């Protein structure tokens, strides 16, 4: 049987992808188990690739596999909350759809299936991977296809755009990514938010690019010490209670913390002198306003100011 995954044609020699058989009564029979060692031919980017199904015991997943570094999904953001949609099925039935990858010096590099990989680790289940000889272009293609099932967040997209912008203009990257420059830069600005804040959400997808950009504008106005205070707040208070607050509550706490920490400069008030003359002092600079001053008084004021400033200069020499 031939199946389609977008424009990828799969022609199994020995199928091992589990399917639910339906009985005469309409009830689902137990799912068949994946069998390591099975082989298939998989057409990737128009080329036939021979794959072999490999089973990795749960205790060896972390050391025996790694996620392809160019995968847009930020692996540091994956935890039990981020893969909660997969946890129940893994616990009850194990992995049902194998990942795709290649063997690199004895370690399997995963192109499509990083969330399944993490879920297998979380649930202490075996991890199944179709392993074949794949080029970098094919790895990138499979990675992009895999991420379509669970779209990456604005934060993760922003990180990728940021890397691409090191070697190309905004216009070139936006066109190549099939996105407007404005939408792309919203993602880039969202990616400037501290990772600790993003990790406060059950999933980074909860924060949109529009909201992320607005929050970054608040955050970047703070000085380094104030920004560190926000990060510590996320690490010590938000992340430990992850899953206990709604998206809106987390965002509101972040805004409150930013605006509460931010030092708002006060407008200097003028000081009244004799005859309605005033002086305003701002950042060590004084500005005098003397109304209807006579020529004689102006000369006297200039002389007095000169003498005072000359004395101050000598005292500080």
Taking the C-alpha atoms of residue 83 and residue 79, their distance in angstroms, rounded to an integer, is 7
- Under DSSP, the state recorded for 204 is G
- Under DSSP, the state recorded for 199 is T
- The token duo for 164 is 């691409």
- Under DSSP, the state recorded for 29 is P
Bridge partners (DSSP) listed for residue 187: none
- In the chain, count of helices (H) and strands (E)? 12, 11
Question: Could you tell me which residues come within 8 angstroms of residue 250 by beta carbon, excluding any fewer than 6 positions away?
Answer: 200, 201, 238
**Looking at residue 13, what is its pLDDT?**
39
Contact, 202 vs 243, CB < 8 A? yes
**Looking at residue 266, what is its pLDDT?**
58
Strand order in the sheet with 107-112: 3-5, 8-12, 39-44, 47-56, 127-132, 99-104, 107-112, 65-67
pTM over 0.85: no
Contact, 53 vs 128, CB < 8 A? yes
Which CATH number is associated with domain 153-263?
Answer: 1.10.10.2830
Longest dimension (CA), the chain: 112
Question: Could you tell me which residues come within 8 angstroms of residue 116 by beta carbon, excluding any fewer than 6 positions away?
Answer: 86, 95, 97, 99, 127
Question: Could you tell me which residues come within 8 angstroms of residue 317 by beta carbon, excluding any fewer than 6 positions away?
Answer: none
**Looking at residue 296, what is its pLDDT?**
82
**Looking at residue 62, what is its pLDDT?**
95
**Looking at residue 2, what is its pLDDT?**
38
Contact, 50 vs 41, CB < 8 A? yes
Residue with tokens 């499509």: 112
Q: Coil, helix or strand for 284?
A: coil
**Looking at residue 27, what is its pLDDT?**
40
Question: Could you tell me which residues come within 8 angstroms of residue 212 by beta carbon, excluding any fewer than 6 positions away?
Answer: 154, 155, 158, 186, 187, 189, 190, 193
Domain ranges in the chain? 1-18+30-151, 153-263
pLDDT tens string, the chain, 317 residues long: the values are: 333 344 444 443 333 333 333 333 434 344 456 788 899 998 999 999 999 999 999 999 999 999 999 999 999 999 999 999 999 999 999 999 999 999 999 999 999 999 999 999 999 999 999 999 999 999 999 999 888 888 899 999 999 999 999 999 999 999 999 999 999 999 999 999 999 999 999 999 999 999 999 999 999 999 999 999 999 999 999 999 999 999 999 999 999 999 986 554 556 777 777 777 787 776 567 787 877 778 888 888 888 888 787 666 555 44
CA dihedral 219→223→224→229, nearest 10 degrees, is: -60
Strand order in the sheet with 285-289: 271-272, 278-282, 285-289
């Amino acid at each position: 049987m031939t199946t389609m995954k977008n424009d990828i044609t799969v022609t199994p020699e020995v199928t091992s992808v589990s399917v639910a058989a339906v009985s005469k009564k309409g009830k689902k029979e137990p799912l068949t188990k994946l069998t390591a060692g099975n082989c298939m031919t998989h057409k990737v980017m128009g080329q036939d690739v021979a794959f072999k199904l490999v089973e990795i015991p749960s205790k060896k997943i972390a050391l025996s596999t790694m996620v392809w570094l160019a995968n847009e999904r930020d692996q540091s953001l994956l935890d039990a909350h981020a893969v909660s949609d997969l946890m129940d099925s893994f616990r009850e039935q194990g992995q049902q759809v194998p990942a795709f990858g290649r063997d690199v010096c004895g370690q399997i590099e995963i192109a499509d299936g990083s969330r399944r990989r993490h879920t297998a680790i979380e649930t202490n289940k075996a991890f199944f991977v179709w392993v074949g000889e794949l080029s970098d272009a094919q790895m990138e293609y499979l990675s992009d296809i895999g991420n379509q099932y669970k779209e990456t967040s604005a934060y993760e997209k922003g990180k990728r755009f940021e890397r691409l912008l090191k070697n190309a203009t905004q216009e070139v990257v936006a066109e190549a990514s099939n996105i407007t420059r404005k939408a792309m830069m919203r993602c880039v600005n969202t990616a400037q938010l501290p990772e600790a804040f993003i990790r406060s959400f059950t999933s980074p997808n909860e924060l949109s690019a529009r909201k992320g950009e607005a929050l970054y504008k608040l955050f970047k106005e703070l000085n380094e010490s104030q920004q560190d205070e926000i990060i510590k707040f996320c690490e010590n208070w938000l992340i430990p209670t992850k899953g206990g607050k709604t998206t809106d509550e987390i965002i509101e706490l972040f805004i409150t913390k930013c605006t509460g920490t931010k030092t708002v400069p006060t407008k200097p008030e003028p000081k009244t002198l004799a005859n309605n003359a005033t002086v305003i002092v701002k950042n060590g600079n004084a500005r005098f306003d003397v109304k209807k001053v006579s020529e004689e008084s102006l000369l006297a004021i200039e002389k007095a100011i000169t003498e005072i400033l000359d004395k101050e200069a000598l005292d500080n020499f």
